[in-house]
Amino acid sequence: MKYEMRGFSRRRAIVALFATLLCGFVNRSASAQIDPLPSWNDGTAKKSITDFVARVTTQGDADFVPIEQRIATFDNDGTLWCEQPVYFQLAFAFDRVRAMAPQHPEWKTTQPFKALLDQNMQAFAAFREKGLLQIVAATHTGMTTDEFSNAVLGWTVGARHPRFNRPYTELVYQPMLELLAYLRANGFKTFIVSGGGIEFMRPWVEKIYGIPPEQVVGSSGIVKFQIDASGKPELMKLDKIEFVDDGPGKPVGINRFIGRRPIFAFGNSDGDLQMLQWTAAGPGARFAGIVHHTDALREYAYDRQSKIGKLDKAWAEAEQRNWTIVDMKRDWKTVFPEARPR
C-alpha cells in the first residue's frame, strides 16, 4: 500500500514536472515568436504601437506607467468598425422605422417617415438635420432602456450591410480587435469614446470588442426613472439630448466617465481631434493614432472631403505633432474578420 502510494505520487510528480517545464518552454517561445498584431503589416505604424507598449510596461524604463493609469480610448465609427455608406446607427434607425411602421399607419402620409418608407432618399435628404432628428426621436425614445436594448440586439442579428452583405457587427476591423486584446494583455483598460449613442453601443460591444458596457462613453439622451402602473421601476428614454460626445465633448466625456486622462487614444476623424490633443498633452509617454481610410477596394477611401468621417484638421495636427497615422491599405493585412459560419 505504502509502496503503491509512493509510486503513484512519483508518477504524478513526474507528470507535474513535465507539465511545468513544458509550460515554461511554450510560454518562452510564445512570447518570442507569436506576433500579437498579425493583421498589421510591419512598418512604422505597427512599430510605433509595439514600441510604445514596450516602453510604458517595462519596469525601470523612464516611460513606465503604473497599470492603473494605462487607460486607452478608442473612437468607434471609422476607428473600430466601418462607418460607410452611413453611420451604422443611422442604418439601425432607418431599419427601425420600417420595422415599426405597421404600428404607425400615420407614417405612410407623414414626412419625413413617408420618404423613408418609400425609399426615396433624395426626398428624405431634403428634410436635412431636422428629418434625421425626427427619425432618431421616433426610433430611440419613448421606450424603456430595456426595450431599446432589445431592439438594438435584434437588429445586430438580422440586418445586413448593403455592400458587404454581412451583419454590421462583423464589419469591425480585425487589426483593431487585435490591438484591443494586445493592450489589455499589457494591463491597459480599453474604453470606447464615441459620438454614437451610448445605449446603441452597450448591448453588443462586450461580445464584439471585449469592452464591457461600463467602459463605453458616448452621446446620450435624458433618461427618467419612474415606477410603472404595476409598481415596477423603469428607465424611460425621453426625446431630449443630454450630451454630445463629439469634438470638444470627447475630453469632457472622458473626464466625466473615466476621470483620468488616457495615455493612448485612437480616432479617425476631426471629431476625434480634441480627444487626441487631450491625450497627447498629458505628462509622460503618450500615444495618439489615426486610422486613415485609404482602401476603396477592401473598405472605403475618404478623408478631407468626406461628409462622414471627415479627416482634415486632425490629419494636419497629426502630421505636425508626429502622431501615428495608419494607412489602411498599406498597414493592414486584413480589414474585416473572417465571416462567422451561419
Site for a second copy, rule CB under 8 A: 9-10, 12-14, 16-17, 20, 68, 71, 145, 189, 191, 198-199, 202, 206, 212-216, 220, 223-227, 232-233, 235, 248-249, 251-252, 255-260, 274, 277-278, 281
Cβ 35 to a second copy shortest distance, Å: 28
Minimum CB distance to a second copy smaller for 148 or for 182: 148
How does strand 233-243 pair with strand 216-227?
antiparallel
Minimum CB distance to a second copy smaller for 82 or for 216: 216
Minimum CB distance to a second copy smaller for 130 or for 232: 232
Cβ 252 to a second copy shortest distance, Å: 5
Q: What is the 3-state secondary structure (H, E, C) of the chain?
A: CHHHHHHHHHHHHHHHHHHHHHHHHHHHHHHHHCCCCCCECCCHHHHHHHHHHHHHHCCCCCCCCCHHHCEEEECCECCCECCCCCCHHHHHHHHHHHHHHHHCHHHHHCCCHHHHHCCCHHHHHCCHHHHHHHHHHHHHCCCEHHHHHHHHHHHHHHCCCCCCCCCHHHCECHHHHHHHHHHHHCCCEEEEEEEEEHHHHHHHHHHHHCCCHHHEEEEEEEEEEEECCCCCEEEEEEEEEEECCCCCHHHHHHHHHCCCCCCEEEECCHHHHHHHHHHHCCCCCCEEEEEEEECCCCCCEECCCCCCCCCCHHHHHHHHHCCEEEEHHHHECCCCCCCCCC
Minimum CB distance to a second copy smaller for 252 or for 285: 252
Cβ 258 to a second copy shortest distance, Å: 5
How does strand 264-267 pair with strand 233-243?
unpaired
Minimum CB distance to a second copy smaller for 47 or for 224: 224
Spatial separation of the C-alpha atoms in residues 265 and 286, rounded to whole Å: 9
Cell representation of residue 171: 464589419
Cβ 181 to a second copy shortest distance, Å: 16
Minimum CB distance to a second copy smaller for 17 or for 26: 17
Minimum CB distance to a second copy smaller for 211 or for 335: 211
Minimum CB distance to a second copy smaller for 135 or for 263: 263
Cβ 184 to a second copy shortest distance, Å: 14
Cβ 205 to a second copy shortest distance, Å: 10
Minimum CB distance to a second copy smaller for 115 or for 318: 318
Cβ 99 to a second copy shortest distance, Å: 24
Cell representation of residue 293: 481610410
Q: Please say whether the beta carbons of 283 and 319 come within 8 A.
A: no
Cell representation of residue 177: 480587435
Cβ 146 to a second copy shortest distance, Å: 9
Cβ 244 to a second copy shortest distance, Å: 12
